[in-house]
C-alpha cells in the first residue's frame, strides 16, 4: 500500500509528519510493505486557504492513503472523492505512523475535525 506523509524535512523513515497537508513543503510517499520511498515537492504549497489542490499536488503517485497531523475540509473532501483515505498521524515519525497504520491504530479524519487555516499546526 502506498502511503503519503506530508513532511517539512526529509529524513527517511525518521521524517517528522507535518501538521498540515496543504502547506507541507514535501510529501514522503512510501510503500508500506517494501519501505521503498519517493519524495515529491509540494508544487501547490502557496495557495489561499480553501484553494488547495491535494490531488494535483500528489498527482501520478498512485497513493492509497494520506497520513497527516491536520488537513482542511476542502482537501479532505477532494482526496476522499479521489478514493484516497486520510488518517490522523498519532506519532512524530513516518516510521511509527506506518506501524500504527498497519495495526489499525490511526483514526480516519472526519469532516468535523479539520483545520481552519494555514498555521502549519492544527489544533483539533
Dig out the grid coordinates for 54 from the structure. 491535494
Is 122 a domain residue? no
Whether 118 maps to a domain, the answer reads no
pLDDT in tens, 68-111: 998 888 888 889 998 999 999 999 999 999 999 999 999 999 87
* Per-residue pLDDT at 63 exceeds 60: yes
Q: Does 123 reside within a domain?
A: no
Q: How far apart are the C-alpha atoms of 34 and 19, rounded to whole Å?
A: 26
User: Is the pLDDT higher at 54 or at 62?
Assistant: 62
Range of the domain at 94: 2-113
Q: Is 91 part of any domain?
A: yes
What pTM value is reported for the model?
A: 0.84
Contacts 24+ apart (CB under 8 A), 34-39: 37/12, 37/13, 39/10
Q: How many domains does the chain have?
A: 1
Q: Is the pLDDT of residue 64 over 90?
A: yes
CATH number at residue 31: 3.30.420.130
15: DSSP letter = P
Q: Is residue 120 part of a domain?
A: no
- Which residues have a Cβ under 8 Å from the Cβ of 48 and sit 6 or more positions away? none
Does residue 82 lie in a domain region? yes
**Structure confidence at residue 121 (pLDDT):** 44
Answer yes or no: is 121 within a domain: no
Q: Give the pLDDT confidence score for residue 47 in this predicted structure.
A: 46
How far apart, in whole angstroms, are the C-alpha atoms of residue 31 and residue 95?
12
State pLDDT tens for residues 24-60. 889 999 999 999 999 988 876 554 455 556 667 777 7
Amino acid at each position: 500500500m502506498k502511503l503519503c506523509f506530508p513532511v517539512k524535512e526529509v529524513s527517511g523513515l525518521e521524517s517528522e509528519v507535518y501538521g498540515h497537508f496543504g502547506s507541507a513543503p514535501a510529501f514522503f510517499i512510501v510503500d508500506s510493505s517494501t519501505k521503498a520511498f519517493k519524495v515529491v515537492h509540494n508544487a501547490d504549497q502557496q495557495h489561499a486557504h480553501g484553494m488547495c489542490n491535494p490531488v494535483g499536488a500528489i498527482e501520478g503517485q498512485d497513493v492509497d492513503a494520506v497520513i497527516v497531523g491536520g488537513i482542511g475540509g476542502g482537501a479532505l473532501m477532494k482526496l476522499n472523492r479521489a478514493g484516497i483515505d486520510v488518517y490522523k498521524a498519532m506519532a512524530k515519525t513516518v516510521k511509527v505512523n506506518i506501524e500504527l497504520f498497519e495495526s489499525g491504530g490511526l483514526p480516519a479524519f472526519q469532516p468535523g475535525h479539520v483545520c481552519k487555516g494555514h498555521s502549519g499546526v492544527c489544533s483539533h
